[in-house]
Amino acid sequence: MKNKNTFIQQLSAILLALHFLIPAFAQNIDKKAVERIKKDVYVLADDNMQGREAGTPTELQAALYISSRFIQNKLTPIGTQNYFKPFEFRAETKLGENNVLTLNTKILKLNKDFYPISYSSSGEANGKLIKAGFGIIAPELNYNDYKDIEQQIKGNIAVIEVSSPDGIHPHSKFIAYHDLGKRIETAKKKGAIAVVFINSDKKTEDPEEKLSNKFISADIPVIFAKGMAYKIIMDATEVNASIKTDIIREERVGWNVIGFWDNKAKSTIIIGAHYDHLGWGDEHSAHRGEKAIHNGADDNASGVAAMIEIAHRLRKNKKAKNNNYLFIAFSGEEKGLFGSASFVKDPTIDLSSVNYMINLDMVGRLDPKEKKLSINAVGTSPLWKDLLNNVPTSIIIKTSEPGIGPSDHTSFYLQNIPVLHFFSGMHADYHKPSDDADKLNYEGIAEIVDYIVKLIEATDNKGKIPFSKTKEEESSRPSRMKVNLGIMPDYMHTDKGLRLEGITEGKAAEKAGLQKGDIIIKIGDSEINDMSSYMKAMGGFNKGDKTNITILRGNETIIKEVEF
């Protein structure tokens, strides 16, 4: 009997100790809230949604589900007849069925011997192949690959090496001419009706085979020749070519889903989360196997489910009545913040009435032991840090200040609106088919929701939250650029040049006098056609270098000197 009592006492002590070790959110969490969040994630991240890619029927299927949840929470449309606000965007660029290369009657094989590259348009070209070296004219270096072929190139097809006279590296004298787009433009000006790139330099990478929608069409066929096609070009004295390219640049429509809770207040808080994902995998996928559905449970069914639960909580909340609430499920985020960028350009409410914006992007993986939550963009208001620190929670908060980041809050920050971005952390399933609903911490999402609702309550009597600009940190992503201009590109700009959506305070662009809305068309000697040519041009500069930047401002062409 004595041993039995001792055992019971020891067991009781162990259970009592375990009780205090259980994470705090597991004790007081609203089980019904957990179930609502879980249901929403499982619906949005189901295989039937096929990854919710923007501009697809299953994106609209997800949008309809989200609107049904808005209706259940008694949210109403605002600024539109229903809950949906469409926007147009350029989707993926892909090959059609009619891509053909014939050299001296020899029909070559697509992908094995040649492939069109992203600069190519659809079209046909028939003519002689004229070798144009590296396709570079550099007067300041007394170099001209077209000097001896001015007449032959007209009406024929230019063959151009992808390397340069001294290779492709940061210290190349010809770095301003490395951009293939610039060399294509030069060939066109010389009368070439198509361009065939080849690569004889083993240290230089071949052009990207996968087509990208970020490149501007050169309006002529452009291909890369390899394998047998390369052999024929190098061995034969004269080559007659017939080229057909079939490039599909698809324009799509995406849908933002918008619901409003009207408290008859002067100001409105925006709570947003993107619901689109990668479908069966696009250029942003980290998956390298066979095509598979990317369900995007954490990215970002978790954020949408949290947003809907916040709507549920605020509808009945008596401590948060001094603001209206606008809930937006954005699409097109994975393509380049298209949905949020579209909204701020054509909003359904007066943006001057917006108090602040909360963005929920990937909040489903709160570690139950470490419980670390990242809250980004806290520098966008001088009030954020104190407010965040005074909200009671067992979550460990990690903050960063910059208002610009790779998610939808950036679009609002650029409109001088205070923002916050909630993020539970990166993981191995990011942008892979394995980001599934069974891996999420639903109690953790519920606790994040609870924290955000308490934060909103804490701001209720603060009036309009003041805005402040932030010093932007350098991107953590690898880049060949050694200097930073300090700009936010307009990813929805599809004409030539790089349009500026925002300027970072204190960086080179602001010091040079560049402004929001300017379109960069030239940096130094490098023409800027798109984001790719911009990055390549920037890769040639070091800290302390000076150069000229040519911009379009309205109908005026302006040259500004910039120092990096």
Do 350 and 277 share a structural domain? yes
List the beta bridge partners of residue 85.
Answer: 256
What six digits make up the tokens of 126?
A: 């028939």
Which H or E element spans position 303?
helix 302-315
3-state secondary structure of 444: helix
Residue 464 lies in a domain: no
What is the pLDDT at residue 492? 60
Which H or E element spans position 252?
strand 247-261
Percent with pLDDT over 90 in the chain: 72
Report whether pLDDT(251) > 70: yes
Report whether pLDDT(541) > 90: no
pLDDT digits (tens, 9 = 90+) for 295-307: 999 999 999 999 9
pLDDT digits (tens, 9 = 90+) for 50-74: 999 999 999 999 999 999 999 999 9
Per-residue confidence band for 246, with pLDDT thresholds at 50, 70 and 90: very high
CB 121 within 8 Å of CB 244:
no
CB 235 within 8 Å of CB 40:
no
Do 494 and 422 share a structural domain? no
What is the pLDDT at residue 24? 39
Give how far the C-alpha of residue 219 lies from the chain's centroid of Cα atoms, to the nearest Å.
26
Do 223 and 273 share a structural domain? no
What is the pLDDT at residue 454? 97
Report whether pLDDT(75) > 90: yes
- Residue 323 gets the label, from left (phi > 0), alpha (psi -120 to 50) or beta, of beta
The Cα 121–Cα 106 span in angstroms is: 23
DSSP state of 560: E
Report whether pLDDT(5) > 70: no
Per-residue confidence band for 491, with pLDDT thresholds at 50, 70 and 90: low
Do 363 and 294 share a structural domain? yes
Greatest CA separation found in the chain?
Answer: 109
pLDDT digits (tens, 9 = 90+) for 325-371: 999 999 999 988 999 999 999 999 999 999 999 999 999 999 999 89
What is the pLDDT at residue 529? 84
Residue 474 lies in a domain: no
pTM: 0.69
Question: What mean pLDDT do residues 136-147 have?
Answer: 96
pLDDT digits (tens, 9 = 90+) for 426-456: 888 999 999 999 999 999 999 999 999 999 9
Give the number of other Cβ atoms within 10 Å of residue 31's Cβ.
Answer: 9
Residue 61 lies in a domain: yes
Do 516 and 437 share a structural domain? no
Give the number of other Cβ atoms within 10 Å of residue 564's Cβ.
Answer: 19
What six digits make up the tokens of 296?
A: 């995007």
Among 207, 184, 196, residue whose Cα is nearest residue 137: 184
Determine the residue type at 115. Y
What is the pLDDT at residue 164? 96
The strand pair at 106-107 and 100-103 is best described as antiparallel
Question: What mean pLDDT do residues 113-135 have?
Answer: 96
The CATH number of whichever domain residue 401 belongs to comes to 3.40.630.10
Residue 32 lies in a domain: no
3-state secondary structure of 21: helix
Question: Residue 235: which domain range?
Answer: 98-245
The Cα 195–Cα 201 span in angstroms is: 18
Report whether pLDDT(477) > 70: no
Do 392 and 313 share a structural domain? yes
Q: CA distances (Å), 210 to each of 95, 109, 111, 226, 251, in order?
A: 9, 17, 11, 15, 18
Per DSSP, which regions of 390-497 are E strands? 396-399, 419-423, 487-489
Q: CA distances (Å), 290 to each of 94, 173, 280, 285, 464, in order?
A: 18, 42, 10, 12, 50
Report whether pLDDT(9) > 60: no
Do 176 and 267 share a structural domain? no
How many helical (H) and strand (E) elements, i.e. helices and strands, does the chain have?
14, 24
The Cα 501–Cα 415 span in angstroms is: 10
3-state secondary structure of 462: coil
Range list of H helices, 22-101: 25-28, 31-44, 57-72
pLDDT digits (tens, 9 = 90+) for 387-431: 999 999 999 999 999 999 889 999 999 999 999 999 998 888 999
Question: What mean pLDDT do residues 521-549 have?
Answer: 85
CB 213 within 8 Å of CB 78:
no
Do 66 and 184 share a structural domain? no
pLDDT digits (tens, 9 = 90+) for 187-225: 999 999 999 999 999 889 999 998 887 777 889 999 999
Do 386 and 332 share a structural domain? yes
Residue 469 lies in a domain: no
Q: Report the domain count for the chain.
A: 3
What is the pLDDT at residue 455? 97
